[in-house]
């Protein structure tokens, strides 16, 4: 199968696939399909650029192959103070999932209306109670109810003052007509009326300024509260949530969606209230002036209502599509920026440009079609209002000629006529704001309403300093509820013991340490620390006893000192120095001109892979945990860096319970025990020498790696 790419005239990348190949941009096959395995029916994975958890690049472990090793050939080993136990015979294996689940897999649909769900959301936009969403949005104003109440009073004053100029203008016209024979009296009267108009306009300007200041305060504080609530919820959610979401989509909730809520709170809601109030007050004034003419104004109302009823649901659906495509564009942008080194290394700038242009083009198309609705609504609305105005002028002129109305009254009525119809014109802007804000609010509340998959029990107990005894008791786990990636795993680890975890790709090694860190909860069985089920322990207390060194160390923007002290922000400079020296990081840090105050750059890009890893080890040393987890901490560094890292790890693991996954099996040679996982089960357990004598899975992995090393040496 081959892919040949060429940019077409529109700058987009097209792929011609030979012999039934897959087009570029199509959904990638699931990782469980490699090595001839059956497809793994895991939930849809995140888009490119999504946040990764402790599993790094491996993703969910896939189901095992059908053929298994003879259980009788796998001999359990019991070490001093520890125990390994194979799963019981006859229990179902992790690969025996329901075939119908895989066969029936397709687009996720709303259980209520059966419409397809958006890729980046679990909420059906068509089934959301919009009135409830709007009321909930206004609940964010509760802390600022005094300012909001003052804003409403000021807003009412602004609206009432807008009714003064048309009335005074009518009085001016009547004065000109009735006092034509007395110019001096007419000018005095007109001067007095114009002075009142100027005073009303000045008061209007002052109140409008106060209203704007109040709206700015309320909108900014509410936006701050919403963003803080979102960020707090992001920190509370489990890693499984981020497996199914892209970073770009989540960022758009805090940036784009929150900004739309700001627009609504700052301008949309006050605008809607002021126009509703203006419509009500103007209607009262018009009916008091001349009820016959006022009644004629209502003729276009049913047609305007019908037009609005046709317009609203269509506009709302199109704006939902806009925000969904904006999220996908953000995801593409985030993945490109995060992977810029890879893009340049493989000269894929054209391809990434085309991918972003395609996402951006889809945003344009959705925005164009959404705004095209206004091209229909606005002219039709203007035509209906113009017909009403023409009717008023025709009938009003007849009434003036027949002396049923003064010219000044018709002039004032005409001024109020514009104020009566202006809210109908302005409602489209308010509807635009409300449509955008409701869509944004739905997306924000979706995050706020999501419950963490890993929850702390209400009866969770504090965890004192632990000894480090870890017990896996018949642990089974499934990511999707159907396929077991761990099956009946049991292991007892004594304090200070080092356990190496090895096995083929997808055997369940990283899943096991994810469960130990309680990033996920076990499906069956229990994990105990010093005899206490970790589900009965406060999460913060438990994780303070853990230290984790990842395959791809993550450094935050800031200085080297800040990153080492991240695990203990209150650590002194001397403690940071001791941790760096123990991690073999002190010497290379001092080679920088700014030493420990050197900024590491985005994700630590100013440092090499080995340097970043030693910083992460120093961070773990400063944390001083009782239980350590290493996820292939030396797999992506050179030989010299590996030696330094191994020396640092040797210091760190002393008197600590340690679990280590290693790409190079030689690094686990001195582990107290090595646990071999295969197909989600414990296949072998023992020391390096014992497992080599068994000539089983571990011995085969060692031979394969030794042969590969010889080939690389040649």
Give me the percent of the chain exceeding a pLDDT of 70.
Answer: 79
The pLDDT of residue 179:
76
What's the chain's average pLDDT? 77
Q: What is the Cα–Cα distance from 194 to 168, expressed in whole angstroms? A: 8
Q: Per residue in 72-111, is it b (16+ CB within 10 Å) or e — as a string?
A: eebeebebeebbbbbbeeeeebbbebeeeebeeeeeeeee
Please compute the mean of the pLDDT values over residues 561-586 and round it to a whole number. Answer: 89
Quote the strand ranges of 37-172, DSSP E: 83-85
Q: How many CB atoms lie within 10 A of CB 254?
A: 17
Global model pTM greater than 0.75: no
* Cβ–Cβ under 8 Å, residues 560 and 600: yes
Q: Per residue in 467-487, is it b (16+ CB within 10 Å) or e — as a string?
A: ebbbbbbbbbbbbeebbbbbb
* Cβ–Cβ under 8 Å, residues 49 and 334: yes
Q: What is the Cα–Cα distance from 77 to 679, expressed in whole angstroms? A: 19
**Nearest Cα to 525, choosing from 93, 89, 96, 87?**
87
Confidence at 128, pLDDT banded by 50, 70, 90: low
The pLDDT of residue 428:
65
- What sign results for the dihedral spanned by CA atoms 97, 100, 106, 111? negative
The pLDDT of residue 712:
53
Question: pLDDT tens for residues 593-618?
Answer: 999 999 988 878 888 888 888 888 88
Cα of first residue to Cα of last residue in the chain, in angstroms, is 31
For residue 501, the cross-strand partners are 661, 675
**Nearest Cα to 266, choosing from 219, 330, 207, 305?**
219
Residue 79 has pLDDT above 90, yes or no: no
Q: Which two tokens stand for residue 438?
A: 């409701």
The pLDDT of residue 708:
66
- What sign results for the dihedral spanned by CA atoms 273, 276, 279, 283? negative
Kindly state the DSSP code that residue 567 receives in the 8-state scheme: G
Question: pLDDT tens for residues 7-65?
Answer: 343 343 333 333 333 333 343 443 333 343 333 334 334 333 343 343 333 334 443 33
Q: DSSP secondary structure string, 188-201?
A: HHHHHHHHHHHHHH
Most confident of 288-292, 344-348, 647-651: 288-292
Residues found in the chain:
714
Q: What is the Cα–Cα distance from 173 to 184, expressed in whole angstroms? A: 15
Q: Per residue in 290-304, is it b (16+ CB within 10 Å) or e — as a string?
A: beebbebbeebeeeb
Question: pLDDT tens for residues 326-335?
Answer: 878 887 887 8
Residue 199 has pLDDT above 80, yes or no: yes
Question: pLDDT tens for residues 448-506?
Answer: 888 888 888 888 888 888 888 999 999 999 887 778 899 999 999 999 899 999 988 88
**Top-tier CATH class for 138-449:** mainly alpha
The pLDDT of residue 649:
76
**Domain ranges (residues) in the chain:** 138-449
Helix (H, G, I), strand (E, B) or coil at 104: coil
């Amino acid at each position: 199968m081959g892919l040949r790419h060429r940019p077409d005239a529109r700058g987009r990348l097209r792929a011609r696939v030979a012999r039934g190949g897959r087009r570029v941009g199509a959904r990638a096959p699931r990782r469980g399909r490699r090595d001839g395995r059956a497809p793994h029916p895991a939930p849809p994975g995140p888009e490119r650029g999504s946040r990764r958890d402790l599993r790094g690049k491996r993703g969910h472990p896939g189901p095992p192959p059908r053929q298994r090793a003879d259980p009788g050939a796998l001999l359990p080993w019991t070490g001093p103070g520890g125990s390994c136990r194979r799963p019981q015979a006859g229990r179902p294996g992790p690969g025996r999932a329901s075939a119908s689940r895989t066969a029936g897999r397709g687009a996720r649909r709303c259980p209520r209306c059966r419409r397809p769900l958006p890729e980046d959301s679990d909420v059906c936009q068509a089934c959301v109670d919009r009135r409830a969403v709007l009321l909930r949005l206004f609940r964010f104003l509760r802390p600022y109810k005094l300012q909001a109440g003052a804003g409403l009073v000021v807003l009412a004053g602004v609206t009432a003052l807008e009714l003064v100029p048309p009335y005074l203008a009518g009085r001016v016209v009547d004065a000109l007509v009735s006092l034509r024979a007395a110019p001096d009296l007419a000018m005095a009267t007109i001067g007095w009326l114009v002075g009142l108009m100027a005073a009303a306009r000045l008061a209007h300007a002052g109140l409008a300024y106060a209203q704007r200041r109040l709206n700015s305060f309320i909108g900014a504080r509410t936006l701050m509260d919403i963003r803080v609530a979102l960020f707090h919820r992001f920190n509370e959610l489990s890693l499984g949530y981020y497996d199914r979401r892209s970073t770009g989509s989540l960022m758009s909730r805090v940036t784009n969606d929150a900004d739309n809520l700001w627009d609504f709170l700052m301008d949309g809601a006050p605008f809607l209230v002021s126009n509703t109030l203006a419509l009500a007050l103007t209607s009262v004034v018009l009916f008091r002036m001349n009820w016959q003419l006022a009644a004629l104004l209502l003729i276009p109302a049913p047609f305007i209502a019908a037009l609005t009823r046709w317009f609203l649901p269509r506009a709302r659906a199109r704006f939902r599509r806009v925000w969904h495509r904006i999220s996908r564009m953000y995801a593409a942008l985030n993945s490109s920026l995060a992977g810029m080194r890879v893009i340049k290394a493989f000269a894929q700038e054209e391809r990434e440009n085309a991918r972003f242009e395609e996402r951006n083009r889809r945003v344009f198309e959705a925005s164009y079609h959404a705004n095209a609705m206004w091209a229909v609504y606005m002219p039709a609305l203007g035509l209906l209002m113009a017909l009403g105005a023409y009717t008023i002028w025709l009938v009003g002129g007849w009434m003036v000629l027949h002396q049923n109305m003064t010219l000044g009254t018709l002039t004032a009525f005409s001024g109020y006529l514009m104020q009566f119809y202006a809210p109908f014109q302005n409602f489209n802007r308010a509807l635009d704001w409300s449509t955008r804000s409701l869509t944004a609010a739905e997306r924000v509340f979706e995050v706020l309403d999501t419950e963490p998959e890993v929850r702390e029990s209400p009866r969770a107990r504090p965890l004192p300093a632990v000894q480090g005894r870890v017990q896996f008791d018949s642990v089974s786990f499934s990511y999707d509820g159907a396929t077991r990636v761990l099956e009946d795993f049991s292991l007892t680890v004594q304090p200070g013991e080092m356990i190496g975890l090895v096995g083929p790709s997808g055997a369940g090694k990283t899943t096991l340490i994810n469960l130990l860190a309680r990033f996920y909860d076990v499906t069956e069985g229990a994990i105990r620390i010093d005899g206490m089920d970790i589900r009965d322990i406060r999460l913060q207390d438990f994780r303070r006893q853990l230290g984790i060194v990842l395959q791809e160390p993550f450094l935050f923007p800031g200085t080297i000192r800040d990153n080492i002290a991240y695990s203990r922000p209150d650590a002194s400079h001397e403690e940071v120095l001791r941790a760096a020296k123990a991690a073999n990081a002190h010497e290379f840090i001092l080679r920088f001109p700014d030493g420990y105050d050197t900024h590491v750059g985005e994700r630590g890009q100013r440092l090499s892979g080995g340097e970043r890893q030693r910083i992460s080890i120093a961070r773990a040393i400063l944390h001083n945990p009782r239980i350590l987890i290493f996820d292939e901490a030396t797999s992506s560094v050179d030989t010299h860096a590996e030696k330094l890292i191994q020396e640092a790890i040797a210091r760190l693991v002393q008197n600590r319970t340690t679990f280590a996954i290693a790409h190079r099996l030689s690094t686990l040679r001195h582990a107290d025990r090595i646990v071999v996982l295969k197909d989600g089960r414990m296949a072998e357990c023992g020391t390096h020498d014992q497992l080599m004598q068994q000539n089983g899975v571990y011995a085969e992995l060692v031979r394969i790696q030794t042969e590969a090393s010889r080939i690389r040496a040649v």
